[in-house]
Every structure is written in C-alpha cells, then in structure tokens.
Amino acid sequence: MNTDLQLRPAGEADLPHILAFIRELAEYEKLSHQVVADEDKLRATLFGPRPYAEVVIAEWQGRPAGFALFFHNYSTFLAKPGIYLEDLFVRPEFRGHGIGKALLVHLAREALARDCGRLEWSVLDWNEPAIGFYQALGARLMDEWIINRVTGEALERLAAKG
C-alpha cells in the first residue's frame, strides 16, 4: 500500500476542493461553459437532507489530488443496485501515481460491499488516454448503447406535455 495516498469520504469542508475539481475536469473536457455548480448547490445536493451523490477525495502527501463522484443506479435485469461514476479526475501534477486506479478499485470494492451488480461510467469518445486506461482495468465499452439526455428548456417542454 502506498502511504503517500489516502482515500476518504468527502465532508462539507471539502466543498471548495470538490468545486475546484469539477471546474478543472470541465476545463479538461472543454466543457467549462456548462458548469453552473457552486458551493451552495453542491452543499444542498451532496450534504443536505437527501444526498444525491457521494464523493471520495484522493489526497497525495496530504494535498487534494483528485476525486470520484458517484451515485447509485439500478439494474432491473439484475434486480440490484449499481454504482454510476459521474466524475473521476486527478490533477495533472498528481498523475502517474496510481491515484485514478486506486479510486476505481475503491469504487469496485464499495460496489461489492453494497451488493451492487455493476460499476459503470461514461467517457468522451475523443479521450483516448482515459479509454485505454479504463480498458486496461477490464472495462468494456458499451458501443451498442447511446446516451440520451433531456435538459434545460427541452426538459421543461417534456414535463409540460400532457
């Protein structure tokens, strides 16, 4: 075990780090313009009366190095919950130390401990380094599935249909 690396559940005091990680990930993914999250919104949705997601913080030599944000989904075919990894990010200066792998191993162990049937996530099709990394860990690309999303005004229009 690497004593330089510590993984721990995030607490409210980590909100500045979580928001910074989200912004840095969005910048890497060229999606900064889509980030509207702020500390108050994160506090309400991560640490409020009904938390919608959980966060694991990775610290390298006591410094915030990366994070994984995840939540439960459900497989009707398996009749079991799953873990969906929404975000995984390691700051560039901390890459190469096994932090990303450690976060995924942690989530895989958490999935088994919670009797989950799967651990899944999405990756942008242009992110070849991440795709190769995930495949080396045993992940299988689900090319036959296409993600659908309804958001913003389209979500409001859909909700108003009767």
pLDDT in tens, 120-150: 999 999 999 999 999 999 999 999 999 999 9
| Superfamily for domain range 5-160 | Gcn5-related N-acetyltransferase (GNAT) (3.40.630.30)
Q: Where are the domains of the chain?
A: 5-160
- Per residue in 14-61, pLDDT tens? 999 999 999 999 999 999 999 999 999 999 999 999 999 999 999 999
Catalytic residues: 134
Q: Distance between alpha carbon 148 and the CA centroid of its chain, in Å? A: 18
Q: pLDDT value at position 2?
A: 80
Distance CA 83, CA 86 (A): 9
Q: pLDDT value at position 121?
A: 97
Whether residue 162 is predicted with pLDDT greater than 80 in this model: the reply is no
Would you call 3 helix, strand, or coil by DSSP? coil
> Percent of the chain beyond pLDDT 70?
99
Whether residue 84 is predicted with pLDDT greater than 90 in this model: the reply is yes
User: pLDDT confidence of 159, banded at 50, 70, 90?
Assistant: very high
Structure tokens at 92: 């560039």
Structure tokens at 100: 């990303």
What pTM was estimated for this model as a whole?
0.94
User: Which residues fall within 8 angstroms of residue 131, CB to CB, at 6 or more apart?
Assistant: 123, 141
Q: How far is CA 5 from CA 13, 85, 91, 113, 157, in A?
A: 19, 20, 14, 22, 47
Distance CA 133, CA 8 (A): 23
| Whether 83 contacts 119, CB under 8 Å | yes
Would you call 143 helix, strand, or coil by DSSP? coil
Q: Which helix (H) or strand (E) holds 27?
A: helix 15-28
| Whether 121 contacts 108, CB under 8 Å | no
Q: pLDDT value at position 1?
A: 62
Would you call 70 helix, strand, or coil by DSSP? strand
Q: pLDDT value at position 145?
A: 94
Q: pLDDT value at position 15?
A: 98
